[in-house]
Amino acid sequence: MLRGSPERELAAWWEAEAVAATKAQAAKEQVRVDPGAAGEPERKAGEEQPKEPVPAPPCAAEEGDARILPRPPPTLPVSLTKPEPASGLCPHGKSRIKGRSCKRSSGQPDEYCSLRPVTVDSSKARTSLDALKISIRQLKWKEFPFGRRLPCDIYWHGVSFHDNDIFSGQVNKFPGMTEMVRKITLSRAVRIMQNLFPEEYNFYPRSWILPDEFQLFVAQVQMVKDGDPSWKPTFIVKPDSGCQGDGIYLIKDPSDIRLSATLQSRPAVVQEYICKPLLIDKLKFDIRLYVLLKSLEPLEIYIAKDGLSRFCTEPYQEPSPKNLHHIFMHLTNYSLNIHSGNFIHSDSTSTGSKRTFSSILYRLSSKGVDIKKVWSDIISLVIKTVIALTPELKVFYQSDIPAGRPGPTCFQILGFDILLMKNLKPILLEVNANPSMRIEHEQELSPGVFENVPSLVDEEVKVAVIRDTLRLMDPLKKRRESQSQLLGKPLASKENPPHSDLASASRGNANPDAHLPSICLKQVFPKYAKQFNYLRLVDRMANLFIRFLGIKGTMKLGPTGFRTFIRNCKLSSSSLSMAAVDILYIDITRRWNSMTMDQRDSGMCLQAFVEAFFYLAQRKFKMLPLHEQVASLIDLCEYHLSLQDEKRLVCGRSGISSGSRLQPSATPQEAAPPAPPAEGRPQPCTDGAHKVSHSRHSLS
């Protein structure tokens, strides 16, 4: 259970925001389906029946990792084109002349109007291009579909940060994100957190990494079976590099022959299979939620109010040797189920094989389910998962965009795949760095004739996510706001809406966003930082790690860096000699490098550093639980480093050379030194990673 009952606080979010979405859904339901049938487990009488088998598209791309998929034709279905709101008026109501040259009626140049439109390079948008085009049009921004010689404000990439060399603006990918959310890396990152906070991270199924942990897997399964002979588990094996259900299978026992084949061929994760999922219409389904990582430092996370639910196409039964191979029963991937004859394309967002998440919540609430609790549990899951991912992302970031060098700032939309258990507990299945943003699907119009047709459910959810991500990242927003303040005319906001666009336009203070719906992305961090900051221990370890990396651009700590870390943090003692420190470094580094087979550069990776840190913490603070041991050691390290920084600052100010090179301060957090631990002893961390403590030592 989280401290300070964040569930209750988080639930308020649902109350304020998402209830509105379910109410809107309810209104739609009144029109579309028989309201009395909502919540019934059976397929409703009026609901669409399975259609004729839909032949598989050449590459069904939905909701998986889009990295390997070809770009669809860049045409926009006519039916998707929304009418241009405010009919090309400039913000004060006059028609635009070539988009930009509008003057205020006073005759003065209207700085507000003269702001150029935000520019977006969409040349690498790939499968998200259609949704992106609609979003840019709705925002009245300027798209550069073939790129631009001059820099753009925003670069929208379909695949990864490394798509191109960009030195300014904002790009919709973080360096290293694709690597971080791969099945093995995600499992490792979550496992570190599970070691520190087992209760808080029990939303991720127990996982083992193959082939390294095969023996451990066999031993642990045997141990549980010995303790409880009635335990009949099922496991799901997922290849590390797979996506869209590719290569996934279920097994009942570690001795399964297919597992031996996987061990020989490719790295994978084997995971406890969740046998009792929540069913709707007797079908298993999962949830795709869109999460915006707006910034790493400071951490800013937003969650979209609505997502998608993807349904299996064969009624669910608990796994048995007879049905283990039934992929349409056990795997919810759209890319697989679209091949099933039972797949239902629907024009409604609340029926068919793909629906909005809000339609599911509406249906559950009509059954009396506490959907506020469901929603707050999901928010917790998302924040905790991002907290597990950010430490290594920071290492990637400083390596790709070293401080002081020109580079873009980053943001990224992530696709969280979540399964609800029968008891409504959300379980994290995976995180997608490139969630599909396609808004059409392929349909067979007549035998052998295929056409891409708009998918309403996709458009409703995905266009809102892209458009509102752009709104949040709008680089000119601050300038517009400050110019508006200069003019003494506050922008109309959703909280303080104008009577009408035209009325406010005629007053000259139109909000260019006034014609848009309220933002569908809600901030959850730092909004709920207080409840979650205590979990950010690895983040603080990453700050220490980055500080001692030395040469910018590397991701691994050399032996000298590790020694300097030990010395500067005063961790060596009579019982931990520097020779023992060297052995510790060699042992752990060698093991991690052989495990990850990462030959890019030699040295200690962050995860190896974390392992070494745990070891040192356990030695130093024997009697405490692990997370307190670790927090105490972090406090101690931060304390000693802050004293050094202060000393150097004082020397610097008084013109005395300290004789040693200043360590680069890795993060803003390190700029403010922590207060010394009470009575010279470290205190357990209470307020988490962003504890900006004020030194009691005067600087002058």
Contact residues toward ligand ADP (CB under 6 A) are: 64, 205, 236, 238, 242-246, 248, 271, 273-274, 286, 331-333, 417, 419, 429-430
| Token reading at 25 | 């859904």
What is the closest distance, in whole angstroms, from the C-beta atom of residue 504 to ligand ADP in the complex?
46
Q: How far is CA 36 from the centre of its chain?
A: 37
Two tokens, residue 72: 């669809």
Residue 271: its H or E element: strand 268-272
Residues 6+ apart with CB under 8 A from 447: none
In the complex with ligand ADP, which residue's Cβ is closer, 242 or 603?
242
CB 332 within 8 A of CB 41: no
The answer to whether the beta carbons of residues 329 and 314 sit under 8 Å apart is: yes
Residue 160 · residue 174 · CB < 8 Å: no
Structure tokens belonging to residue 296 = 């790493």
Q: Are 31 and 24 in contact (CB under 8 A)?
A: no
Going by their DSSP bridges, the two strands 409-410 and 170-171 should be labelled as parallel
Residue 194 CB, shortest distance to ligand ADP, in Å, is 15
Nearer Cβ to ligand ADP (433/524):
433
Which one, 332 or 642, has the nearer CB to ligand ADP? 332
CB 183 to ligand ADP: min, Å: 7
In whole angstroms, how close is the CB of 330 to ligand ADP at the nearest point? 6
> How far is CA 9 from each of CA 3, 32, 118, 301, rounded to the nearest angstrom?
11, 34, 36, 17
Is residue 2 within 8 Å of residue 203, measured between CB atoms? no
Tell me whether residue 33 or residue 268 sits nearer to ligand ADP (CB atom).
268
Residue 6 or 205: which CB sits closer to ligand ADP?
Answer: 205
- Residue placing its CB nearer to ligand ADP in the complex, 113 or 237: 237
Residues near 377 by Cβ (< 8 Å), separated by ≥ 6?
7, 203, 424, 425, 426
Query: What one-letter code names the amino acid at 360?
Result: I
Q: Which two tokens stand for residue 474?
A: 């709008």
Contact 334, 551 (CB under 8 A): no
Between residues 333 and 632, which has the closer beta carbon with respect to ligand ADP? Answer: 333
Q: How far is residue 675's CA from residue 687's CA, in Å, rounded to a whole number?
A: 13
For residue 197, the minimal CB distance to ligand ADP (Å) is 20
CB closer to ligand ADP out of 310 and 372: 310
Instruction: Closer to ligand ADP by CB, 174 or 416: give it.
Output: 416
In the complex, the smallest distance separating the C-beta of residue 243 from ligand ADP, rounded to whole angstroms, is 4
Least separation in angstroms between residue 268's CB and ligand ADP is 11
Residue 267 neighbours by CB distance under 10 Å: 18
In the bound complex, what is the minimum distance in angstroms from residue 313's beta carbon to ligand ADP? 12
Pairing label, strands 283-295, 308-311: antiparallel
Q: Which is nearer to ligand ADP, 138 or 271 (CB)?
A: 271
In whole angstroms, the minimum distance from the beta carbon of 366 to ligand ADP comes to 25
DSSP strand pairing (119-124 vs 154-157): parallel
In the complex, the smallest distance separating the C-beta of residue 553 from ligand ADP, rounded to whole angstroms, is 31
Instruction: With CA atoms as reference, report the closest residue to 47 among 275, 351, 312, 356.
Output: 351
